[in-house]
Chain A
Amino acid sequence: MHPNPDKASIHLTIVGDGETLCVTLGGHWRSREVGDIEREIDALDFSSHRRLRIIVGAVVPDLAGAWAVRRLEQRAAERGLSVDYEGERPVTVALVDAALGDAAAVSAPPAASRGSVLSALGHRAFDTARDWRDGLAFLGEATVRFLRGVFDRRAWHPISVARHVYDTGITAIPIVALIAFLISVIIAYMGAQQLRKFGADIFVVDLVTVGVLREMGVLLTAIIVAGRSGSAFAAEIGAMNLNEEVDALRATGVQPIEVLVLPRALGLVIALPLLTVIADAVGILGGGLLCNVLLDMPLVQYVQRVDESIGDYTFWVGIIKAPVFAILIAIVGTFRGMQVRGSSRELGRLTTVAVVQSIFLVILADALFAVLFMEIDI
């Protein structure tokens, strides 16, 4: 925004009188006008004068206005002009003087020092290592608390666990079922297109059954739950941290891990396998529907073929992964939540970290499982 020429004369009326520059203040010297006033002051030309006379008139500047008057004085003084007033120097200017003191003392807070690329890399490496160490320590503590709790009836929190089974499991059924259905339709459709070329249509059933039971059912369920519940864990515990609720728990002699982490982990360990079973069932149903519509395969034949294609371990290979994924999601979510300190930005950052890391760890664990199962030939 540039001050227009008409406006420029509102706040300052300038009369150059030989050695003396007379500036008459006018208009309102308030916060709202200070942006304009400052530009008018900075545009002043002091070069041919040796004295500045400020004529206050009826102007009553507020604090921001007084700051502008002071700025006018300073600008003149910098150019070696002496400053005097016709009328009283506004009291608010003295107030600003007292508050700001020496202008030299006014300096922006020093920016954080930037090291070289190498030191940044080093810092990053150390931070990451510390992060992993803290995460492992957290997992260890949770495990120890869990093992101790097994023999202590009071450490069981059945109502809390039930709540988390409901929140993470029951309420997730619709979205998990819908996505499992769509994914199996996609697999069946892609498979049918390719296998038809070889006249091997019937193997679409094997593809859907094995694909959904061994991998897709559990993996997709875990990813959805990581997005839904991993973030909820981190945000809920993080907000409790900001609100000092976690400290209040500690001060009451209650272990936060026992009441915040374990019920969530336990609830998810119960809920995720159950969700996986639902995803498996809906997935196979979806595959059957598509085979029926696209390949004109009677449902009876589909069911027979499904039965033949399922080996001894096909279902169990998938379902055994669910509790492991559940623990990964629960530990990462609650751990990041416990790390929240100080500000709402941290809460957002760590919630994001929780989701990204739990999905990453789930996929990594799935890859390790794949290798393991191949080695032991199932």
Chain B
Amino acid sequence: MNTLVMTVGVLAAALAAVQPASAQTTLDAVRSKGYVQCGVNTGLAGFSQPDSKGMWRGIDVDLCRAVSAAVFGDAAKVRYTPLTAQQRFTALQSGEVDVLARNTTWTITRDTSLGLNFVGVNYYDGQGFMVPKKLNVKSAKQLNGATVCVQPGTTTELNLADYFRANRMTFKPVVIEKLEEVLNAYFAGRCDVYTTDVSGLVAVRASRAPNPADHVILPEVISKEPLGPVVRHGDDRWFDVVKWSLFAMLEAEELGLGAKTIDQHLNSTNPSIQRFTGATGDIGKALGLDNRWAYSIVKQVGNYGESFERNLVPLGFERGLNRLWTQGGLMYAPPIR
């Protein structure tokens, strides 16, 4: 009897010792450990990738740095956990990472049954087609009967079949598992078309094509792949912090505030800019942060456009859908007021 009571007591004590960790909000936990643990891709050019010096770079990495700047006023307080596609959701669910910024497509299943919350979209992607220029193809509608190189097992293959069926066209798939080999097949002329997400097409054309000008990416985008940062269900405070870190980068671009120029606007009389930099109002407090949270993000990381310029434009990406709404794109931040 005594041992039973003791066992129960020990178990209860162990549970109690464990409990506070889960009851604590993520923001408090992040503050007390002193850094943001950010789950990123193990290596995807432009999104998250270590450079030759082992420094992480990319737009997903910039999102992590923005969150760190908002919470600590210092963009460098991030620790990166490189994650594979299979690990990423478990790592977030189990609390191994605080934010998952790993080019993850926002779908309803992931947003609901996986227990995740997508905070927004930091890159609008979609599946497209690349063809050699010499074929003189101007539209995907002209691809009837084409041989298409595609990697198996992803939604890419299904979207491809759907698109051709919907347009009453036929195609001959060349299905190859390894990226390296599928690219070799395309560049060797084994197929007329290569299909994957447009971001992937752009990167491949810039880095792998013997002569990038010999290949064109067709205008049709046949699927929606909104990529965005993710947090766990059930912690609205943290959800707000990450969400508004992303929005602050978009809003800064809209207001014309950049890393180099924001200091010149500190004395601006524009009320939107005053609210943004924390000169007036208590917006940071409402988030549980310092009032200069947005200023720190822009000062240290830059606005969304600058991040895009720095990471994606050198690879040959065009802004396209990722322009601000004022310029005909989809990037739109709710008002910061």
Q: Is the A/B pair a real complex? A: no
